[in-house]
Amino acid sequence: MITHTLSPQSADYTSFPGSARSLSYYLLCGQDYRQQQENLTPDDFKEIREKEGKSFIDLCLKLLKQWENLDDCLQSSILAIQFPKYLSAAAAVALLKVPLDGLKNCLSQLNEFIQKQGALTSTDISKIAQLFHIKPKRYLILGEVASNNDWEFTVKKLKLKDSEQIKSLKEQAQTLATVEVLTDHIVQASDILGYDIAKLLPKPKKQFTQKDLDLATEQLTRENATLKSEKEALFLRLQFLEVQSTPKLTTEPQIEILEQSETTESVDTLEKQSTLEQFNDDEVPNKEDLSSSSLLPSFIPGMTVKVQNTNLIGKIKRKSPSGWIVKLQNGLSKIFQPEQLDVISQPSQKKNSLSKSKGFGLSPHPA
């Protein structure tokens, strides 16, 4: 117990272990606030809490309660620690929150830290103390020896505020135990005394029915179908982008060839029309022959030709179904195939003009 009873408002803190805001400071404040709480009316103490700060007063009262749960040996060991001149409230709470069975080890760790680092900070104290904190228990683990933490958990969960209730529960558990009390005995004793043991045990895992499984399967099936559709759409999109990114082959050379072909065809047509106008009806060549796409030379009436592999020379008169009729120099006319003839010369312009005039019934000489 703290032997100092001075009020924090009137105390000379330099005369106590540590300076202002040391651990002793928080404990003295807690002692003073508790005394005021006992002596003042609830309304008066409420006014003090609002004036000096609710959170700070509650903190000091909590620290004082934790401190008083320690024996004199542990209190002396804590006060022997070389705390920083300014100890934060969070560090003080973290230190006194360490369970009794781990407090000695915690103090040993703090002393080792001081030897290595030379001094402690509030942050160092909080970090080291938190290593020894016990995580809040959520339920009793069956089959284990009942610890103080298990009993505290049971009292808290069952909301046992009367000391007689706690004593009765412990006696009932001891009666059930043969040697030492287990957590199972705490649960059995609580059940016998009519308490809700569901608060002490872990929540049962949810049991899924066949309907739940069917619904889950149906949902997964829908999700898989959606993913499959999205995957297919993405694949098609990638294919489309790949086609779009492929360089297109130019068609300009083809266009030029077509234009050239069309031009050549037009020229050939004009030449054929001009040729048809130059000859008499009996000398007009067959249009079908003129449109032939043969690689052989184009023959026209009046053209001088030579028969291949011979010395025969003549002029083409016209084309017959069997070939070209050629009038030879010896006066005879014979039919030859185009591949048998070689062109020597084109028909003379003068003769063509005369033939044209004759064809229209005009005199070759002006009147």
**181-198: average pLDDT:** 93
**Mapped to the 3 state alphabet, what secondary structure does the chain carry?**
CCCCCCCCCCCCHHHCCCCCCCHHHHHHHHHHHHHHHHHCCHHHHHHHHHHHCHHHHHHHHHHHHHHHCCCHHHHHHHHCCCCCCCCCHHHHHHHHCCCHHHHHHHHHHHHHHHHHHCCCCHHHHHHHHHCCCCCCCCCCCCCCECCHHHHHHHHHHHCCCCHHHHHHHHHHHHHHCCCCCEHHHHHHHHHHCCCCHHHCCCCCCCCCCHHHHHHHHHHHHHHHHHHHHHHHHHHHHHHHHHHHHCCCCCCHHHHHHHHHHHHHHHHHHHHHHHHHHHCCHHHCCCHHHHCCCCCCCCCCCCCEEEECCCCCEEEEEEEECCEEEEEECCCCEEEECHHHEEEEECCCHHHHHHHHHHHCCCCCCCC
Q: Is the predicted pLDDT of residue 18 greater than 80, yes or no?
A: no
Q: Is the predicted pLDDT of residue 256 greater than 70, yes or no?
A: no
Least confident of 55-69, 260-274, 287-301: 260-274
Instruction: Provide the mean pLDDT of the chain.
Output: 77
The pLDDT of residue 247 is 63
Domain boundaries, the chain: 13-130, 148-199, 275-359
The pLDDT of residue 118 is 86
The pLDDT of residue 223 is 86
Least confident of 8-12, 143-147, 149-153, 217-221: 8-12
Least confident of 203-207, 236-240, 346-350: 346-350
The pLDDT of residue 106 is 92
**223-235: average pLDDT:** 87
Least confident of 5-9, 203-207, 273-277, 294-298: 5-9
Least confident of 171-175, 198-202, 272-276: 272-276
At 236, the pLDDT band (50, 70, 90 cuts) reads confident
Percent of the chain whose pLDDT exceeds 90? 27
- Please name the CATH architecture into which domain 275-359 falls: Roll (2.30)
The pLDDT of residue 296 is 57
The rounded distance, in Å, linking the Cα atoms of 60 and 45 is 15
Comparison of pLDDT for 246 and 82, the residue scoring more: 82
**208-236: average pLDDT:** 84
**88-98 pLDDT, tens digit each:** 888 988 888 88
Q: Is the predicted pLDDT of residue 261 greater than 50, yes or no?
A: no
Percent of the chain whose pLDDT exceeds 70? 74
